[in-house]
Amino acid sequence: MAATERPEPSLLLVAYGWSPAKEARLRAFCQDFVPRDRVLVLRNDQDPTQGSFRELRGSNRYAEFSGYLEGLAEMPQDGPLIVANDTLLTHRAMSAWKHLLSHPELPTDRIFGDFRLQSLDEVQLPMLASWLFYLPIGMQRYAFEFVVQVVTDDWGNPPFGPRYQAVVEKYLRGGLLSGWIHAGRRDPEAIELKRNCIYAEHRLSLLLDELIYTPAVGEPLAVQLQKVNRRDRLIALWRRIVTKLRRP
């Protein structure tokens, strides 16, 4: 590889359930981007169906967070690492994210991902949604692994006080155009898991702090990120409409 070329990325994908559709989407994402021998699908389900990519079975103890920890040790140590869950294949503008993750101006000293400024009543939290992390070098990888371990060790504990918890509970109750899309359609165990995943997502960004890439207004990468976020929001709105129409 020439010295001017970017190193090849690796991909750790944590999935719950597998299907031919997911397999095809993953192939499309990796084509001309992530070499097959640098991809690991960590399966958090018990379905014996085997895909064509390298697989590892996860414990699903802490949803994707334990999956991230269990898969990191199996990944190549050279080059950037993309860590994602399978909503990349099912709920996102996947091709747009692929293009963005190939952007020549991706940060080399910060963790990149689906950035948003989250209003949590008590605080405005600069955060990365926990479905995607781009770790450019080893230092960010080690920091990410350490922080995910801290988050899972503190599983189930809210990172902020009562007003924050009220915001989370409002989200879990859902709404016509906002809130959890599966509100009213999940059992108490699933609701508790979702609540704990929200706590973990927010605590993760709180601890990563200055390691998170924060877009600057007007810079090319920030503009591209905004465009991808808009496409994601349209997909989310369409999924919400379809879910509402299908609900008895």
In a domain, 138, yes or no: yes
Distance between CA atoms of residues 235 and 241, nearest Å: 10
Angle, helix 94-101 to helix 20-30, in steps of 10 degrees: 30
In a domain, 4, yes or no: no
In a domain, 1, yes or no: no
In a domain, 224, yes or no: yes
List pLDDT tens digits, range 191-236. Answer: 999 999 999 999 999 999 999 999 998 899 999 999 999 999 999 8
Domains of the chain: total: 1
| Number of Cβ within a 10 Å radius of residue 224 | 16
pLDDT at 142 over 60: yes
| Number of Cβ within a 10 Å radius of residue 154 | 14
Q: What is the mean pLDDT of residues 156-160?
A: 95
Percentage of residues in the chain with pLDDT exceeding 70?
92
Neighbouring residues of 48: CB distance < 8 A, sequence distance ≥ 6 = none
The residue range of the domain holding 203 is: 10-246
Of 128 and 240, the structure prediction assigns the larger pLDDT to 128
Burial of 76 (0-12, 13-18, 19+ CB in 10 A): middle
Distance between CA atoms of residues 62 and 74, nearest Å: 18
In a domain, 60, yes or no: yes
Q: What is the mean pLDDT of residues 159-168?
A: 93
In a domain, 35, yes or no: yes
In a domain, 5, yes or no: no
Contact 14, 67 (CB under 8 A): yes
Beta strands across the sheet bearing 124-135? 55-57, 39-43, 10-15, 81-85, 124-135, 112-119
Neighbouring residues of 3: CB distance < 8 A, sequence distance ≥ 6 = none
Q: What is the mean pLDDT of residues 122-130?
A: 90
pLDDT at 3 over 50: no
Question: What's residue 192's pLDDT?
Answer: 95
List pLDDT tens digits, range 9-52. Answer: 999 999 999 999 999 999 999 999 999 999 999 999 999 888 99
In a domain, 3, yes or no: no
Contact 173, 179 (CB under 8 A): yes
